[in-house]
Amino acid sequence: MLERMSFFAKLYNVDKNPEVGMWLLYGTVIIFSIIVYNLGFARKLSLLKNVVIYTVLILGCTVLTFFAIFLPVGEGLVVAIIILGIYKLRLRQAKHQKAS
């Protein structure tokens, strides 16, 4: 079973200490999902709309956490963060260069 687990599940020892490991995995998935949302999809919205969006995002992360034990959900989110971060950086550089 250990060889089939994802990197973050192994890192947090989900097999040896499932209660703490699952909470850490859940927190990791939530943090990475919020970063991906902010880098790629966030718009300026009212406070109530933001509360609804983040609540639904956190509830959705509950399901993703169970998938993240054996599937590379966390790793995919890290790749998405890297790609969206590079995109935002290049976009900012292009806007700065265009303004000059």
Mean pLDDT of 2-27: 92
First CA to last CA distance, the chain: 56
Total tally of structural domains belonging to the chain: 1
Q: What percent of the chain has pLDDT over 70?
A: 98
Asked if residue 1 has pLDDT above 80, the reply is no
Give the Cβ contact number of residue 68 at 10 Å.
28
Q: Return d(Cα 74, Cα 53) in angstroms, integer.
A: 20
pLDDT for 100 equals 83
Tokens encoding 4: 């089939």
Q: Return d(Cα 58, Cα 61) in angstroms, integer.
A: 5
Sign of CA dihedral 46, 84, 74, 35: negative
pTM: 0.89
Mean pLDDT of 86-90: 96
What is residue 3's DSSP assignment? G
The whole domain housing 21 covers 2-99
Taking only the tens place, the pLDDT of each residue in 16-35 is 999 999 999 999 999 999 99
Residue 43's pLDDT band (boundaries 50, 70, 90)? confident
Burial of residue 82 (CB within 10 Å: 0-12, 13-18, 19+) is exposed
